[in-house]
Structure formats: C-alpha cells, structure tokens
Structure 1
C-alpha cells in the first residue's frame, strides 16, 4: 500500500486497455472484499476492540509515512535539498487546497454517498480516511505507472493485498463508507495508468525517477497526517494538501533548471 518498492526495468511493449488497468481492478476488488469482512467482524467486536484496531492501523500508518518521506533525501537537485522542495510544496499546496476547499468537497462527496446509499454512523469519515490512505503513496503512483507503461501489475497486486487487509481494520471501526473508497481508487489509479501509457519514453523506470521520488516523499508527509488523525493526536486536513503532489515535481523541475 505505501512501501517504496524497487522494481527491475521491464522492456516496454504496447499493452491493451485491460493490461494497463488490471492492477486497479484487482485493487478495487480487494477493498470491497476487505470491507465485507470488516462489516462481518464489526457486528461481533465490542467498541474497545474496534478502537484498538484503528489505533494499530494508525501506528503502522505513522511508520509507513516516515518510510515514504525518507525518499526526499534521494530527490536532491544541485544545491536545493529535497526536504526544502517538499516544504515549499506542502505550504503552497496546502494554501491552494484550502483555497479550493478540497477537504470540504471530499466530505461533501462522502455525505452525498452516505445519503444516496443510506449509510450510517461514521460513513463519511471512513470514506475520506480510506480514500486518502489508499490513494496517497508511492505504491499507488509507481504501481500505476508500471501497469500503464509495461502492463506489469505486480506492485499494484501487492498494494491491493495490503489495502484489503487495511480495509478490514478500517471498516470494523468506520463502517461501509470504507468500501466506497474503491471509487476513488478506480478514478485515481486507473486514470494514472492510462496517462502513463502515453509516456513510456519519458518515464521508462518510475522507481528511480526523481519526480516520482519527491512526489512519494511529499505523499509520505501526508500519510503521517492520516496516522495522526487515526490516533486522534491531531486533526490534519490532509485533503487540503493534495495539490502538493502536483506542485512537488514542478518545483523539482524548476530547481533543476535554475541550478
């Protein structure tokens, strides 16, 4: 789901639509299965146990966020450190996301789905937390790029397995809203895979591309925010920082050009 994986370079050959997006469909399926399992467990687990599960996911999320963020140390260009670029991306991205009210819009979408499908309780919180958790991370980015460029869905299949297990834990606490995060996976990973299919010569090996490294590092900082939210340590508006994922590689290109 979040771990940064090194994958070997694969010869680039034309791939069909299914091959480009197969990893995304597998990911959607595992999240739905995990949600179903979580719903079954939720009926038999007391609240205290559900809370422990959520805290466990939160602790692991913090660790994975730190692991991801360490890729910033590899994304250095000239005299500009990757951490400085990440700071600028997070600040400007957060300001832009707050101005666009991305967090509010995501919650509005969650509330609409909750009303449309007669969800209950923490439906929206589960939808938002799971959507951010499953979409932000190097495995989502690298896996989608690999799938779209070469048709190799190995990384996304591993991510799908991890997401399915996380969905069980999250659903036991938040409910069926977690399952609707599969819609965001379908749009985000599927769209990224299709886009990557148009760029094979530009990004033949996404695991070592510095633009991907800095984007993954910024994503790691956002994952840390999700972990803090799950543990009720703070209320970080993670969705507001989403533009930082686009700004980070742009800042890297600008810094490289200037130096």
Structure 2
C-alpha cells in the first residue's frame, strides 16, 4: 500500500504524544532545559542538511520567492488560526500550549529530507523503510515535545499525512516524466532548503529569533522549478 509509510509515521507521532502526556508534570525549569536541548539538536540536524547544497543560487532563489509567496498567503497566520480553533475546541485551560505545540511539531515533522525521500521511496519503489524509521524517530520527538508543549503536538499528524501521503501518491507517476538525474539533484537541493528551515526552527525554539518559518514553506515547492530554470540557462 502506497500510504503505509505515511500512516505508520502518523501512528508513531500519536503513540509518542500519548506516552508524553504521562510526563507532563515536570518542573518549568526542566521543561526549559529540555527544550533548549531539543533546539540545539534541531539546529545541528538543519546545518548538516543545509551544507549538502550543490547550487547556492537554487537555494537562494527558492527561499526568496518562497518567502514572497508565503507572506502573501499568510501561511503562518493560517497555522495560528487553526491552532487557536483547536484551543477553543479543547477548552480554555489548554490555550497556552496547543497552538505552539501544533505549529512547532508540524514544522519539525514535515520539513526534512526523510519526509521527502521516504515518501518518494514509498511511491516509486514501494519501500517504506525510511518512513518507518522516521516514525520511530518522530515518536520519540513527539514524546519529548509533548512534555513541554502539551497535547497540541498530536494535531501535527494531519499535515504529516497530507504532505507525505501527497508526495507518495505523486511519486507513483513521477518517474515516468522526470529524468533520474534531475530527480536526484532535486532531492539534494530540497534537502538543503529544508535544512535551512530546520535551522530556523531550532533558532526559534532557542528563543534566539522569531522567524516565521511556515511562511518559508513554499520554497520547498519551488525548488524543482528554480532548479529547472537555472539548469536551462546554465547557472
């Protein structure tokens, strides 16, 4: 089944969140220290991904035009609106954490090489190993995030399923129309672009910056187009 890997990824997040709820009574100082640790790891992961870029121009143009589209569409604000709606549905006592948990977890789980490459493998080769590995990793991350950000983390399952499931379904046909060499280059540059977004998430978690990362998400979709155009003119 093409969507098996994506569904297992969602299940991993669900299990991690449920387990994390049993550890919610930790002190605020411990939560702060845990989040700082998470932020540092996120930062490292993002840097390792970002340095893989083989064409900085593709990276720059993708982020530039992605930011313009994201700001015009107000993606970050729409995420916040969804979070606030969830807060209202869950009750006033949850309002301090659901929105932040939903947004932070969604960005961490969606932006990354494993989500893209794993979904492509599921669709093209029917190989779900990468997404199954990601499900285990995301489960542990969801556990830790839940102890600090609360139950809102579980709602990140929805964008994860839509993102990975959509890529997997598209990938069932993509190899018929896109040359393998271009697809490989696309994965490299998308990984690097996603890495920079993960760096931004890490900086936000550490309270160093307040980057509207969701408004940069269109850059991931533009990588293919920018790569094609730059290759056509020899950049």
TM-score (norm 1): 0.86
Alignment gaps of 5+ in structure 1: 1-18, 74-81
Counterparts of 1:208 and 1:95 in 2: how far apart (Å)? Answer: 25
Q: Report the equivalent of 1:28.
A: 10
Counterparts of 2:2 and 2:164 in 1: how far apart (Å)? Answer: 10
Q: Aligned pair count?
A: 232
Q: Report the equivalent of 1:93.
A: 66
Range with bigger deviation, 109-118 or 149-158:
109-118
Structure 1 residue 40 corresponds to structure 2 residue 22: yes
Structure 1 residue 209 corresponds to structure 2 residue 184: yes
Counterparts of 1:178 and 1:100 in 2: how far apart (Å)? Answer: 24
Aligned partners of 1:206 and 1:212 also within 8 Å: no
Aligned partners of 1:145 and 1:206 also within 8 Å: no
Q: Report the equivalent of 1:185.
A: 160
Counterparts of 2:179 and 2:136 in 1: how far apart (Å)? Answer: 25
Q: Report the equivalent of 2:218.
A: 243
Q: 1:203 to 1:30 in 2, by over 3 A?
A: farther
Counterparts of 1:256 and 1:208 in 2: how far apart (Å)? Answer: 13
Matches within 5 A, 1:43-192: 43=25, 45-73=26-54, 82-118=55-91, 119-192=94-167
Q: What RMSD, in angstroms, separates the aligned Cα atoms of the two structures?
A: 1.6
Superposed displacement of residue 201, structure 1 = 3.1
Q: 1:215 to 1:150 in 2, by over 3 A?
A: same
Q: 1:205 to 1:144 in 2, by over 3 A?
A: farther
Aligned partners of 1:58 and 1:231 also within 8 Å: yes
Range with bigger deviation, 199-208 or 245-254:
199-208
Of Structure 1 and Structure 2, which has the larger fraction of its residues in helix?
2
TM-score (norm 2): 0.94
Aligned partners of 2:84 and 2:95 also within 8 Å: no
Counterparts of 1:170 and 1:233 in 2: how far apart (Å)? Answer: 19
Counterparts of 1:39 and 1:207 in 2: how far apart (Å)? Answer: 44
Alignment gaps of 5+ in structure 2: none
Counterparts of 2:172 and 2:90 in 1: how far apart (Å)? Answer: 35
Aligned partners of 1:207 and 1:213 also within 8 Å: no
Counterparts of 2:199 and 2:215 in 1: how far apart (Å)? Answer: 14
Aligned partners of 1:135 and 1:184 also within 8 Å: yes
Superposed displacement of residue 88, structure 1 = 1.5
Q: Report the equivalent of 2:199.
A: 224
